[in-house]
Every structure is written in structure tokens, then in C-alpha cells.
Amino acid sequence: MFKRLTAVLTALCLMLCGCALAQEEKFVSYHSDFSSGTDGWYARSAGGASISVQDGALTIVGRTGSWNSPGRDFPLEAGKEYALSVQVRQDAVASATFMISVAHSSLGVESYENLVTGAAAKGEWVTLSGTWTPAPFDNFILYVETVGNDTLDFSIRDFTVKLYEMKVDEEIPSLKEAFAAYFPVGTAVTQMEARNTRRMDVYASQFAIVTPGNELKPDSVLDIAACKKLAKEDETAVAVHFNAAQPMLSYCRDHQIKVHGHVLVWHSQTPDAFFRESYSTGKPYVSREIMLARLDNYIRLIMEYMQEKYPGVIVSWDVVNEAIDDGTGKLRASNWTKVIGEDFVERAFEIARKYAPADTRLYYNDYNSHLAPKADGIIALLTRLAAEGNIDGYGFQSHYSSGGVMLSRIRNMFEQVEALGLRVRVSELDITIDNTSDPMLKAQAYCYKNLFGLYMEHAAHIDAVQFWGVTDDLSWLAAKHPLIFDARIQPKPAFWAIMELVQ
């Protein structure tokens, strides 16, 4: 009897799993116009909120928290890219911000990501849309929530999620090949993009060098919980991990793409706890000596790990980022200046040089370096660093707007850096525009072309030219369309303008 029951249960289970799998494999697209009920949607809340459907829209009322939302389960697959879209409307406040978010779980632990954000003015239907590539999780709930406005009633309609088909034109010429005689062309990549090998393969055809956009910053690398444990024995001990960067580093290693490391020392994206006794925010700062020892351990552990797991992959590092203040040209006040003091930049380079492989290039990296008084401050800092002999070059971040590319000032700064005997890197290039009208796209193309003309003139001094991202939709400045590929990875006029220089 027991055996028979087990067999029946097993068969049932197999059938169910089979269905689930078949459904998963089949999942290509979903669209709800809410013409036939709630269609699997439910209210996400601790009890108070409820949903109803009328006239092709789903409305949620009775919310008590921003996460109270209409949600629905979707059988998404890791590594596939999905296009998401929904219309939202509210009739209560002048403007409210909405997000399409996802709740996913792994081994029973739920976690969340915000995928698409947009604002809706009172009484207007507004479309939120974007793309997303999931990491491996056991299940996914997509939902539409507010930012703040915890009790706002709102409606959604036309919710769409579909496999995003990248139509990649095989005929697109390769930037990295076109500029190979001048300098390596590269880009920043984020971990979400790195999950999608189809996308990465396109990037690999265009770019020779990659910078992890966030994944090697201290807030990704430092393991504060583990540091706290170590600090009980030794306040100078440091623990690190590379969970966010690993997939990207492995892809680059396996596809002969070089990696530029960004960044060892920065005032931003660095946990305050790094500077505190017992690694605990709220406790006093540690002494200069302890902080220098922590920094020494931090950089040593990173270099050792990379040498062991990814030898030869990382060819260069931003040792320090954005240390100079825009307004004064002096050192920016930060936890680094407070705890180590005015020579923290020099000490960071000294430590990086001690542990980096001999042929690894080390840079100081900053933005707006063509503007006074910052330009003078940067040159003064570079002069001090060059005298100590631990620096190879300066990284021009190069975040511009189409109205603000001051070519002659940038050229002048290139010349000053070169005169110090330092290499030039264009590390984070993007040029924002206000909209994607033809005149704006042309203005952007013109700026990119002029800049690349300058880079070609200085090619003998340039180690790499890297964009800060590939497609506009995934840029950190997505609202201002700053890159040379559109959301469908099709070249924009700027791409062709750059290419004209070498054809």
C-alpha cells in the first residue's frame, strides 16, 4: 500500500514537474490587458491591500506600505534577457514614483531588486519599460510598487514581459578592430550584463578591455561581517570576497578580454565601517596606523586573489578615485583624509605598487579634470605621485554633456599629464544629451568624433579608451542617452561618426 502510494506520488510529482518544466521552456511572453479578471495577479501586503479589475485595468487599494503591490509569479530563467513594460496611473498626488520590482528566492531566502523606475503625474497613464536579466533563483514575482507614497491607490494596465530578442546586426564593424592600431577600446560592464552570455559575446566583438562598473569597488569587495569577526583578534585584519565580479572576470579570462580594476581607494561606495573600531559604524575611527595596515591588507588580499585565480587578466588598476575637490582643487575631505591624513593617496600608491604584479599599470582617476581649479589640483597631486615613482598614469573619467566638451582644455590637460611622463587613460567616457531627436543625436556624434580625433592625435600616450557602458538603457545616466549603442545594441549616429575617422 505504502509502495503504491509512493509510486503514485512520484508519478504525480514527475507530471507536475514535467508541466512546470514544459511551461518554463515555453515561456516567451506574457501580456495582460486584464480583460478576463485578475489573471493570476494578487495583492502583495501583510493583509490590508486588495486588488480589483475594471475596464482593462487592475487597481490596488488599502495599501499601508510602499511594497504593497499587485504582483504575479513568472517562470523566468537565469541568463535570459527580458523586456518589461507596464502602464501606471494614480489620481491622488501631483506626482508619484513607481517601480517594477522583482522578489526572488533561493533556498527559501527572499531578496529584491528594483528593475525599472518612472514618475506618473496625477491622472496620467505613464509607461515604465526596461530590460532585465535574472540571476539563478528558484522563483520570481514581478510587482509594481511605489517609492514612498505608502497608502496611494493606483492602477496598472498592459503589463508585458517577454524574452528580449537582441537583433544583432552581424555586419556591425568592430570598434576594437578599427582602432587596434591606436589604442584598445573598452567599456564598463555590470554584473547583470555579465550574466547574459549572448550580450557578452556582442561586447566581446566590440571591446578589447572591460572595467567592472561596480563589482570591484570596496562596497562589493569588503566582507564587513567577516571583518568584524577577525577584528576581535586583530583590528588590522581584513576579509574580502569577489562574488559580484567573478562571472565577469571568468568571461573575460575565457575570451581574452583584458580587465581594468576599478577602484581600490575612493570616498564613495566604501563602507563607513571600514574606518571604524571593530568595523562598527558608530564607533570611533581607528588610528592612522591601523587604517594603513587595513589598507595594506585589503590591497594585498585583492592582488593575491587576482594573481591566483585570474593571472594576467587584470592589467591595470585605478588606485585612487576622485581625491581632488571640484571647488578648491585641494584634497577632498573624506574618511580617508580624516583617518590617514593628507598623504593617503601617496600611501595607497605605495601599497598598490608593493603588491601589484610588476607590469600592472596604476592610475589616479578623476572627473572634470579640464576645469579650473580642479585641473591645477590634479596636476599638483600627479606631480607629487610621479616624484614618488609609484604611478603610471592618469585616468580621465570623461563624463561630458554634448554642450560641454571643451576640446582645447582637454587637449591642454592631456599635454600636461604627458609632460609629467605619465600615461593617459580615457576611463569612463560618456556624453549626455537631452533627448534622442535627430539634431541631438547629431550633436552627440559630433562630440564623440571630435574627442576620438583628439585621442588619435595622442594615441602614442594613451593606454585605453573606455566607454562607461555599452547601451543607453543600462547606463548610469540612462535618462540622458549617453552611449553609442541604443537599447537594442544597434549603433547610434555617434558610433558611425567615430568609425568615419578610421575608414
- Nearest Cα neighbor of 453 from 414, 395, 403, 419 is 414
Q: How far is the CB of 164 from ligand XIL (least distance, A)?
A: 20
Grid cell, residue 396, equals 580621465
Active site residue 322: yes
CB closer to ligand XIL out of 103 and 323: 323
- In this structure, the dihedral spanned by the alpha carbons of residues 342, 343, 346 and 351, taken in order and rounded to 10 degrees, is -120
CB closer to ligand XIL out of 213 and 377: 213
CB closer to ligand XIL out of 159 and 203: 203
Positions touching ligand XIL (CB under 6 A) are 213-214, 321, 397, 428, 476
Can you tell me the distance from the alpha carbon of 84 to that of 98, in angstroms, rounded to the nearest whole number? 14
- In this structure, the dihedral spanned by the alpha carbons of residues 298, 299, 303 and 305, taken in order and rounded to 10 degrees, is 10
CB closer to ligand XIL out of 71 and 218: 218
Query: In the bound complex, which residue of the shown chain has the CB atom lying closest to ligand XIL?
Result: 476
Active site residue 304: no
- Nearest Cα neighbor of 242 from 257, 256, 261 is 261
Single out the catalytic residue among 81, 215, 350, 428: 428
273 DSSP β-pair partners: none
Which amino acid makes up residue 403?
G
Q: How far is the CB of 476 from ligand XIL (least distance, A)?
A: 4
Can you tell me the distance from the alpha carbon of 60 to that of 53, in angstroms, rounded to the nearest whole number? 9
Q: How far is the CB of 247 from ligand XIL (least distance, A)?
A: 17
160 DSSP β-pair partners: 31, 85
CB 118: neighbour CB atoms within 10 A? Answer: 17
Single out the catalytic residue among 81, 193, 322, 350: 322
Grid cell, residue 434, equals 537631452
Grid cell, residue 282, equals 558608530
Q: How far is the CB of 428 from ligand XIL (least distance, A)?
A: 6
CB closer to ligand XIL out of 134 and 213: 213
29 backbone dihedrals φ, ψ, rounded to 5°: -155, 160
Q: How far is the CB of 477 from ligand XIL (least distance, A)?
A: 9
Residue positions annotated with a catalytic role: 322, 428
